[in-house]
Amino acid sequence: SMLVIADAKRAVAVAGVMGGAETEISSATKNVLLESANFDPLSIRKTSRALGLTTEASYRFERGADVEMARFACDRAAVLIEEVAGGTIFRDVIDVYPRRRTPVTATLRRQKIQGFLGV
């Protein structure tokens, strides 16, 4: 089985592998919807191999991406697009990430780090 990204009418991308031609940005594009997602590396690898498609996206997702960075990456991309192309960022977000991780805090001592690094 292969995961696809779809709108109400049809599949628009092979998830984690390749977007569809109909959703590409062109000089006529006025509105952009950003999707920031994370996919199971094994599933992406199987899909990529089955389709004979190795892409930048599949390369990244096959190696595992930090799921906690998806929202940050989307927000950063929106800001960069705004700076380069102009426009307005619509800040409403749909987030369906079901299991957020609890951040881990580590206490580090400068002397211990320097000793470890040999400084």
CB-based contacts of 4, cutoff 8 Å, min separation 6:
11, 12, 13, 14, 15
Mean pLDDT by 10 residues, the chain (119 residues): 92 93 89 91 96 94 89 93 90 81 87 89
- In this prediction the pTM is 0.70
Q: Nearest CA to 50 among 60, 39, 38, 58? A: 58
DSSP code per residue over 71-107 = HHHHHHHHHHHHHHH--------------PPPPP---
What is the set of domains in the chain, with CATH numbers?
4-117 (3.50.40.10)
Q: What is the pLDDT of residues 78-89, one digit of tens each?
A: 999 999 988 899
- 95's tokens: 């987030």
